[in-house]
Amino acid sequence: MSIDIILASASPRRRELLKEIVPEFTLSVADIPEIAEDGETARTFALRLSGEKARKVSETLTSGIVIGADTVVTLDGRIFCKPEDTEDALRMLRELSGRTHSVITAFTIIDAEDGRAVKRAIESLVTFKAITDEDIRSYIQAGESMDKAGAYAVQGVGRRLIERTEGSYTNIIGLPLEEVREVLLSFGVTVRDEGDFSPPAPGSLQGKCM
């Protein structure tokens, strides 16, 4: 018997990533306010949001496996969510320039039939090159910044801003596939074994910014 998989996310990047291991699934977007509570760490914030997204969708179902996820960028204990506007994106990228920050993606997987839930938070590191305001403004004009945590996309034009990455590359994009695959298997879901989860070759991350 096949198991219905539901992705509780509007992110096109998560959708494309999940297709690597689960060819067929449906989407059900959970509208959750993405506001950190006082004293909340990046890890607990991402875990809470992923759980709220998955629960909100699972409560409308009688069966199926629901996946909720949330990604945050954190530097010096501060949480960088999606920028509010271009000036906010400029501020974020200035702060990330020449430094190493953490990318945390938390995911929650819930069996809507019996309520069983598993949560995990995976951390990867991203080191930016030292980038100028001209580079940053040019990148923002390219249109990748506004719907991304930290105002950049590691898999897009934003790779030119990056010196190196450490840890799960798909985690930085928005869904740690190896860990998600492991949990789905524990729920009895058939998943693909194939899929290249590694970052681009080092040479492709080099070169001048725009």
pTM score of the predicted model: 0.89
Whether 142 is covered by a domain: the verdict is yes
Domain count, the chain: 1
Q: What is the pLDDT of residue 67?
A: 98
CB contact at 8 A, 44 and 62: no
pLDDT of residue 31: 83
| CATH (domain of 79) | 3.90.950.10
Would you say residue 210 lies in a domain? no
What integer is the mean pLDDT of 172-193? Answer: 94
Among candidates 199, 195, 189, 193, which has minimal Cα distance to 3?
A: 189
Alpha-carbon distances, residue 152 vs 5, 83, 140, 180, 202 (angstroms): 29, 10, 8, 23, 18
What is the predicted pLDDT for the residue at 202?
Answer: 43
Structure tokens at 202: 């080092």
The yes-or-no verdict on residue 210 having pLDDT over 60 is no
Is 209 inside a domain boundary?
no
End-to-end CA distance of the chain: 51
**β-strand partners of 73:** 80, 103
Q: Tokens 């991402």, residue?
A: 46
CA quadruple 25, 26, 28, 29: dihedral sign? positive
Cross-strand pairs, 108: 68, 119
- 181: which strand partners? none
57-92 residue pLDDT tens: 999 999 999 999 999 999 999 999 889 999 999 999
Does residue 85 belong to any structural domain of this protein? yes
**Phi, psi for residue 80 in degrees, rounded to 5:** -110, 105
Amino acid 21: pLDDT: 94
- Chain segment 85-136, per-residue pLDDT in tens: 999 999 999 999 999 999 999 999 999 999 999 999 999 999 999 999 999 9
The residue segments making up the domain with residue 171 are 5-189
How far is it, in rounded angstroms, from Cα 136 to Cα 51? 33
DSSP SS3 for 163:
strand
Within a domain: 15: yes
CB 125 within 8 A of CB 165: yes
- Banded pLDDT at 207 (limits 50, 70, 90): very low
Tally helices (H) and strands (E) across the chain: 6, 7
Query: Is 177 part of a structural domain of the chain?
Result: yes
Determine, yes or no, domain membership for 208.
no
Query: For position 203, what pLDDT does the model report?
Result: 40
Q: Is residue 203 part of a domain?
A: no
pLDDT of residue 172: 95
| Residues identified as active-site | 70
Of 108, 101, 8, 102, which is closest to residue 48 (Cα–Cα)? 108
Q: CA-to-CA distance for 169 and 208, rounded, in angstroms?
A: 22
CA distance 127 to 157: 15
Confidence of residue 194 (pLDDT cuts 50, 70, 90): low
